[in-house]
Structure 1
Amino acid sequence: MELQGHERCVSRVPIFSHLEMDELEEVFQRINHQNMKKGEYLFMAGDRSSSLFVIHKGKVRIYRLNDNGEEQLIRVLSHSDFTGELSLFSADEESKSYAEVLEDAEVCRINREDIYGLMQKYPDISIKIIESFAERLNDSESLTTNISLLNSREKLIEYIRTHTKNDKLILTMTKKNLASYLSMQPETLTRTFKKLENEGIIKKINNKTYDIL
């Protein structure tokens, strides 16, 4: 049996990718599908969510607001990425983040009770979720360290270092969102990119692609 559409989406999510075809079909049967427009929210700070959201199409940005009301981008999600995993273990805790749709999106939603049932039946899902938590915690700690200790140039160089593949950097988010992610003003990010170009560290191919020299 060949998986189609949303089923393929589920098969590529790390916490489900190890399952067999018939097991993936069982996961698919527990999913609710949503079509969402740009500017809508999967959830907002203060909401009590009880679902895991998987992005099938489109893009969703996860961000928080600091005490001054300024946005801090956490990550941008696209095809087969997921969010809401914290709600699996904190039923009554309010969300501290916002999940805003950046591009019209198709989203697969799985309720907590269904996830629990799958975890009991297929324990490897629990292991994969823990691995995902560990990876995201590491990313969060690295981001916090970069924001608190590094200057703008060092932040951008560290981002380039960790996101370069085959001597090429391809931005997966707008520079406005990248500036938020790195906790700097968009104008500062633009100047920093230009400085690295002038220093011969990077070469601009287009607005989203750079050769790393």
Structure 2
Amino acid sequence: MELQGHERCVSRVPIFSHLEMDELEEVFQKVNHRQMKKGEYLFMEGDISSALYVIHKGKVRIYRLNDNGEEQLIRVLTHSDFTGELSLFSDDNESKSYAEVLEDAEVCRIDQKDIYDLMNKYPNISIKVIESFAERLNDSESLTTNISLLNSKEKLLEYIKTHRSDEQLVLTMTKKHLASYLSMQPETLTRTFNKLEAEGYISKINNKSYDILK
């Protein structure tokens, strides 16, 4: 059996990728597929939600607002990324974040009850979910540490170190969103990029790509 079209979005999600083809087909039978436009929201702060959202096409940004109403970008989701997993295993299903569509998107939604049924039938899904939680917790703790302890240059260098591919950095988000993710103003990010270029750390290819020289 071969999965077609947006069914593949489920097969590439880490918590399902180990399943056999017929098992993946069973997962897909529980999926609600939705087309979304740029500017729409999967959910907003205060919404009640207990579902897993998988991005098949497009981009979705997850962010929170601090006490001053300033945005803090958490992550940008693209093909096969997912969000909403925390609400599946908590009594508090009130969202603390916003999920805004950055590019027209196709999104697969799986409700909490269906996830539980799948976990009971295929216990390895539970293990994959725990692994996913651990990875995201580690990322969150690293980001918190970087924001509180590092200066702007150190933050950007750490980002380059963890997101480089061989000798290049290709940004997967706009610089405005990267600035939010690194907890700095866009103007500060621009100056920091320029400083790293002047110091010979990077060489600009275009607005989203850089050669890494050191």
TM-score tier, shorter chain, comes to over 0.9
Q: Is the 8 A contact 2:37 2:104 kept in 1?
A: yes
Whichever residue aligns with residue 157 of structure 2, its letter is: I
Sequence identity percentage: 85
Helix, strand or coil for the counterpart of 2:23?
helix
Shift of 1:93: 3.2
Match of residue 139 from structure 1 = 139
Match of residue 55 from structure 2 = 55
Match of residue 180 from structure 1 = 180
Match of residue 75 from structure 1 = 75
Helix, strand or coil for the counterpart of 1:53?
strand
Shift of 1:192: 0.3
Shift of 1:92: 3.4
4+ runs deviating over 4 angstroms = none
Q: Structure 2: where are the runs of 5+ without partners?
A: none
Shift of 1:124: 0.3
Q: Is the 8 A contact 1:35 1:107 kept in 2?
A: yes
Match of residue 159 from structure 2 = 159
Whichever residue aligns with residue 128 of structure 2, its letter is: K
Q: Is the 8 A contact 2:50 2:93 kept in 1?
A: no
Q: Structure 1: where are the runs of 5+ without partners?
A: none
- Please give the per-residue CA displacement for 1:125-183, whole angstroms capped at 9, x wherever unaligned: 00000000000000000000000000000000000011111111000000000000000
Q: Is the 8 A contact 2:49 2:95 kept in 1?
A: yes
Match of residue 125 from structure 1 = 125
Deviates more, 1:23-32 or 1:83-92: 83-92
Shift of 1:14: 0.3
Match of residue 90 from structure 2 = 90
Match of residue 106 from structure 1 = 106
TM-score, normalised to structure 1, is 0.99
TM-score, normalised to structure 2, is 0.98
Partners of 1:140 and 1:25 in 2: CA distance: 33
Matched, 1:37 2:37: yes
Provide the aligned length of Structure 1 versus Structure 2: 213
Matched, 1:27 2:31: no
- Please give the per-residue CA displacement for 1:72-92, whole angstroms capped at 9, x wherever unaligned: 000000000000001111143
Partners of 2:54 and 2:78 in 1: CA distance: 9
